[in-house]
Chain A
């Protein structure tokens, strides 16, 4: 059981379409009633369960913006195998030309923080990203290395703080804090999960009681039965800059090989 950061914030629509159409009101009423009986952890767990896939692939367009103008545009290809705590992912830059081939391998673990290695073709070397370095911005974007990993649910304490409307949708507001053993740059985080489809639409990450990063998920779309945010906006509130990630060519459950998600494979794939 893990808490996804940003890459796979999606939820499977478990409602059969005809039933949903026929019984929209009763179903919605049922969900709202259920909310009061659920605790925060169960909500997050359900959200993750709905987003479970064997693998995922997409092309990402990153637009870094400062003072309301785009200062940098990058593209990456993302591949992920496995679900949550047991997943592995590789993202590889394809544009601009000067960073083409730069790649990041993330190996998530259910019982501890992920391992990460970055491959830089210009020096022909991979470099392990140490845990204490994960608060660093990832390659000039507003994502930190930590934002790219997946978290284990058991390493957090959850608290249901109430309900809010976010972009016209009713959401549960849930706070989660890392337990003592978990090393994180964030002291706590707040997530808003939609009550109708269990998709997280916003995450505020706190450092010493101040919001340091805000992630917003837009353009929700069902792809192969999975609710998928096609746009993710991360704002670094301390630097006052933001990065918009647009997900294109999203595919789920594509055949990917486990052996392509290793450090030797990272070196050889260039």
Chain B
């Protein structure tokens, strides 16, 4: 009587493990800055990140996904208080955060996912104007990572057509650099008081239709919500001693976008555009677009393109907008696979007026099944008035070592 039960009990972890997938890594990054910034004389910044992701599929219909991040650093960009963060609204990076936590139900062509998840829209590589549910970590403006959003996502898709409907109850903002650190460039030595952020209430909605055709792929999208990149209210406070008070806020926006991929005989053409409108009197209305050509040849990979911006209504005085900061620029990326374990990549953005440029050269090598080391050289040049150029003191060398499991 007991034997079958024991066998079943012993078999349970095996059955569970067959539907359980897990992965993660421990990543150590060190950034060396040869020059001090006006508000930050730290020249070495080290970070340690432990990421663990798991997904469990108990049946063909259900899938549970989860992920956590644990991090610390040498530069106080990471909060020292150890408590789990869900909404990613803190100014500093949390020491512990739920990276992802969702449940998905699939039935035939229908998929419903609820919870904290990653939603990526668009087809371009370097700049994605239609990617409205993809806030980022901008602690280092040229070395970013995506943040998940808490959402309900319904997808109905065939091979040729799919429709994506998304609702998020709250905004997940992009995390901008800290005011007392080098990726925020302040004018002069005027003291600044950070008053934090005013987060909006209310949800966000989006819909996207994606078509995969024989000769082209394209999609149309609509978004009604908030910009995850902030505008900044700045005011002068004369007493008790003069200081500038700054506060971030996130304007309501509506975007109409589309993207397109056409594989031609020699290259693939990719384009993506979105028109941003806003009812907020401090937010610009503008069109952001990118056109790029892509080609792989032998061990080489090339992407080159142009990102442009057309402002139809100008209202904004201060903002933090890396997407617009990378517009009116020529963008390029090239990669070469040396062998199965080693590759080298070059990436660059140059503003068309020549006032700002950024280039990155990266060499990466895998050691065995688990280790990878990456050396990167980031070179930033330009004028203080330009989005890229203002970081001319922030050229850096990075060393990264990752153990994946």
Chain A positions near chain B (C-beta within 8 angstroms): 64, 66, 71-73, 95-98, 100-101, 107, 112, 115, 123-125, 128, 130-133, 135-137, 140-141, 241, 259, 261-265, 267-268, 270
- Cβ of B277 within 8 Å of any chain A Cβ, yes or no, is no
| Other-chain contact of B159, A72, A262, A270 (Cβ < 8 Å) | A262
* Sample of 26 A–B contacts (CB below 8 Å): A66-B339, A66-B340, A71-B339, A71-B340, A72-B341, A73-B369, A97-B23, A97-B24, A97-B369, A97-B370, A97-B405, A100-B21, A100-B23, A128-B268, A130-B263, A130-B296, A132-B264, A133-B297, A135-B297, A140-B340, A259-B108, A264-B111, A264-B158, A268-B106, A268-B155, A270-B55
Chain B positions near chain A (C-beta within 8 angstroms): 21, 23-25, 55, 104, 106, 108-109, 111, 113, 118-120, 146, 155, 157-159, 162, 212, 214, 217, 261, 263-268, 294-299, 301, 337, 339-341, 366, 369-370, 372, 402, 404-405
| Other-chain contact of B109, A125, A140, A141, A259 (Cβ < 8 Å) | A259
A132 touches B337 (CB 8 A): no
**Chain A residues in 8 Å Cβ range of B118:** 124
| Other-chain contact of A128, B108, B217, B295, B340 (Cβ < 8 Å) | B217
**Chain B residues in 8 Å Cβ range of A265:** 157
A98 touches B104 (CB 8 A): no
**Chain A residues in 8 Å Cβ range of B158:** 259, 262, 264
**Chain A residues in 8 Å Cβ range of B301:** 136
Beyond the given A241-B339, A263-B159, could you list 4 further A-B residue pairs with CB under 8 A, ordered by the A residue number? A71-B341, A107-B159, A133-B295, A259-B158
- Where chain B touches its partner, the secondary structure class is strand
| Other-chain contact of A133, B21, B296, B341 (Cβ < 8 Å) | B296
> Given the known A-B contacts A133-B295, A133-B296, A262-B159, are A98 and B25 also in contact in the complex, defined by CB atoms under 8 Å?
yes
**Chain A residues in 8 Å Cβ range of B214:** 112, 115
B298 touches A136 (CB 8 A): yes
**Chain A residues in 8 Å Cβ range of B369:** 73, 95-97
> Given the known A-B contacts A124-B120, A268-B104, are A140 and B159 also in contact in the complex, defined by CB atoms under 8 Å?
no
A141 touches B120 (CB 8 A): no
Give the docked Cα–Cα distance between A135 and B298 (Å). 7
User: Shortest Cβ distance from B52 into chain A, in angstroms?
Assistant: 11
User: Shortest Cβ distance from A72 into chain B, in angstroms?
Assistant: 4
**Chain A residues in 8 Å Cβ range of B266:** 132
A264 touches B340 (CB 8 A): no
Give the docked Cα–Cα distance between A26 and B402 (Å). 63
Give the docked Cα–Cα distance between A132 and B268 (Å). 9
User: Shortest Cβ distance from A212 into chain B, in angstroms?
Assistant: 11
B155 touches A264 (CB 8 A): yes
**Chain B residues in 8 Å Cβ range of A128:** 217, 261, 263, 268
**Chain B residues in 8 Å Cβ range of A125:** 120
User: Shortest Cβ distance from B5 into chain A, in angstroms?
Assistant: 29
A263 touches B265 (CB 8 A): no
A140 touches B341 (CB 8 A): yes
**Chain B residues in 8 Å Cβ range of A96:** 366, 369-370, 404
B341 touches A263 (CB 8 A): no
Give the docked Cα–Cα distance between A15 and B370 (Å). 48
A132 touches B159 (CB 8 A): no
Give the docked Cα–Cα distance between A264 and B154 (Å). 12
Give the docked Cα–Cα distance between A64 and B104 (Å). 36
A64 touches B340 (CB 8 A): yes
A137 touches B25 (CB 8 A): no
Give the docked Cα–Cα distance between A73 and B298 (Å). 21
B108 touches A140 (CB 8 A): no
Chain A residue nearest in CB terms to B369? A96
Chain B residue nearest in CB terms to A129? B296
User: Shortest Cβ distance from A135 into chain B, in angstroms?
Assistant: 7
Chain A residue nearest in CB terms to B158? A262
B162 touches A263 (CB 8 A): yes
B340 touches A141 (CB 8 A): yes
**Chain B residues in 8 Å Cβ range of A101:** 21, 23
**Chain A residues in 8 Å Cβ range of B146:** 124
**Chain B residues in 8 Å Cβ range of A64:** 340
**Chain B residues in 8 Å Cβ range of A133:** 268, 295-297
User: Shortest Cβ distance from A97 into chain B, in angstroms?
Assistant: 4
User: Shortest Cβ distance from A141 into chain B, in angstroms?
Assistant: 7
User: Shortest Cβ distance from B66 into chain A, in angstroms?
Assistant: 13
Chain A residue nearest in CB terms to B159? A262
A263 touches B157 (CB 8 A): yes
Give the docked Cα–Cα distance between A64 and B339 (Å). 10
Give the docked Cα–Cα distance between A100 and B299 (Å). 22
> Given the known A-B contacts A72-B366, A264-B157, A268-B155, are A98 and B402 also in contact in the complex, defined by CB atoms under 8 Å?
yes
